[in-house]
Amino acid sequence: MSRKLAALALVLAILVCSMGLKTAISHGNAGSPVMIANSPAPAPIGPPPVKGK
C-alpha cells in the first residue's frame, strides 16, 4: 500500500514538474498555439483548427 502511495506521489510530482517546465519554457503562455511535433513532416500553416463553426 505504501509503495502504491509512493508511486502516486511520484506521478503527481512528475506531472507538476512537467507542467511547470512547459509553463516556464513558454514564458507563462502555455496555451499558445505553437507546435511540438514528432515528425519531420512540414508543419501546417497556422495553429491547429480549434475554433468551433
Partner 1 sequence: MPGPLALAIWYVGIALEIAFVVCSIARKSFFRYIFLNAYFLLALGSDAGRYFFLNKFGQASDEYRYAYFYTDALLTLALYVALISLYSRVFGELRFNKYVRFGAVLLLLGTAVFSYAVVVQSEQILATTFAYELSQNLYFVGLVLTYILWGAVLKLRETRTRLVQFILALGLYFSAYAACYALTNLSSRYSVVQYLSGAIGCLLPLAWTVTMWRYAEESRLEPARLLAVAR
- Residue 9 is a binding residue for partner 1 (CB under 8 A): no
Q: Work out which of 1, 2, 5, 35 binds partner 1, going by CB under 8 A.
A: 35
- Residue 51 is a binding residue for partner 1 (CB under 8 A): yes
Total binding residues for partner 1 by CB under 8 A?
38
**From the CB of 29, what's the least distance to partner 1, in Å?**
6
Q: Rounded CA gap, 36 and 21, in Å?
A: 14
Which three cell numbers, joined as nine digits, stand for 47? Answer: 495553429
Q: CB 30: neighbour CB atoms within 10 A?
A: 14
Q: Rounded CA gap, 23 and 6, in Å?
A: 26
- Residue 39 is a binding residue for partner 1 (CB under 8 A): yes
